[in-house]
């Protein structure tokens, strides 16, 4: 990554950028932003105004941070503030959009909090310490992701939903508005409610992702086999064991369901 040894980035005169930060030459830093030591920002990223970025934080190319987003803040944990011993960090990929008042915390240990690429974080969303979040996700207004949660690719969260600590949300899942997830969310499904339970297959999300129709048909059969009430008297575990795993997405679903304790529906 290029550093400030190149021509100066476009920094507003009211912004405060620590001399130990490394900014690519075309990074934009708007009015009243604060960029701390240990921050590295790659080409094309833009801090629009009133953005705070603390380090150690590494930010990839072409990210956009809207006003009052706070990125790389210390983990919100009782055992005290970290960040001065190199054990707390945040890594963000490329082409993400962070809207107003989004907060993303650094990790509480050796492994960083990680955010992938091409995600949209709407106003007021929170990504806690040690979260691993994939790519192509939509995190709507005021969504709360607790510490150590894992969010796979292509997940969509409705507004005001929440994920508890150490929970995994599978790929292409849809977490409905207001849903509270206290157990793992299988891939490819819609969950809704407090507490969140499986309601349907996320067909719309799969289509938008570009999943082939044959794979969607296979997932529909697998969903009917495992989640539709009754299952012909077959237990949940037996239904998962008997799934036709010739399709790779059904294989991913079966693998996720095999790790659950009982019927996640």
pLDDT digits (tens), the chain, 265 positions: 444 444 466 999 999 999 999 999 999 999 999 999 999 999 999 999 999 999 999 999 999 999 999 999 999 998 655 444 557 999 999 999 999 999 999 999 999 999 999 999 999 999 999 999 999 999 999 999 999 999 999 999 999 999 999 999 999 999 999 999 999 999 999 999 999 999 999 999 999 999 999 999 999 999 999 998 666 678 888 999 999 999 999 999 999 999 665 556 6
242 noted as active-site residue: no
| Catalytic choice (129, 148, 162, 170) | 129
Report CA torsion sign: 224, 227, 228, 231. Answer: positive
Closest of 262, 261, 221, 260 to residue 242, by C-alpha: 221
* Burial of residue 9 (number of CB atoms within 10 Å: 0-12, 13-18, 19+): buried
pLDDT at 210: 97
pLDDT at 264: 64
Please name each of the domains of the chain with its CATH number: 10-206 (2.160.10.10), 209-258 (no CATH)
pLDDT at 228: 82
| Catalytic choice (95, 130, 184, 247) | 130
49 noted as active-site residue: no
Q: Do the Cβ atoms of 81 and 73 come closer than 8 Å?
A: no
pLDDT at 78: 81
| Catalytic choice (147, 158, 162, 170) | 147
136 noted as active-site residue: no
């Amino acid at each position: 990554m290029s550093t400030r040894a190149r021509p100066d980035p476009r920094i507003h005169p009211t912004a405060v950028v620590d001399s130990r930060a490394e900014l690519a030459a075309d990074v934009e830093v708007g009015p009243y932003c604060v960029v701390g030591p240990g921050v590295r920002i790659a080409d094309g990223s833009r801090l629009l105004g009133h953005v705070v970025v603390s380090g150690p934080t590494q930010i990839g190319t072409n990210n956009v941070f809207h006003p009052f987003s706070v990125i790389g803040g210390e983990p919100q944990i009782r055992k005290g503030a970290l960040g001065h011993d190199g054990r707390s960090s945040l890594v963000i990929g490329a082409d993400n959009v962070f809207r107003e008042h989004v907060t993303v915390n650094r990790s509480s240990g050796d492994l960083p909090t990680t955010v992938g690429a091409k995600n949209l974080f709407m106003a007021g969303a929170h990504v806690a310490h040690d979260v691993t979040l994939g790519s192509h996700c939509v995190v709507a207004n005021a969504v709360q992701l607790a510490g150590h949660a894992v969010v796979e690719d292509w997940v969509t969260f409705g507004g005001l939903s929440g994920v508890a600590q150490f929970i995994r949300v599978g790929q292409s899942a849809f977490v409905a508005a207001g849903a509270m997830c206290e157990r793992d969310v299988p891939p490819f499904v819609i969950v809704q409610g407090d507490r969140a339970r499986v309601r349907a297959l996320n067909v719309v999300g799969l289509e938008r992702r570009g999943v082939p129709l044959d794979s969607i048909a296979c997932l529909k059969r697998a969903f009917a086999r495992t989640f539709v009430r009754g299952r012909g008297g077959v237990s949940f575990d037996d239904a998962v064991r008997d799934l036709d795993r010739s399709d790779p997405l059904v294989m991913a679903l079966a693998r996720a369901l095999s790790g659950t304790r009982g019927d996640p529906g």
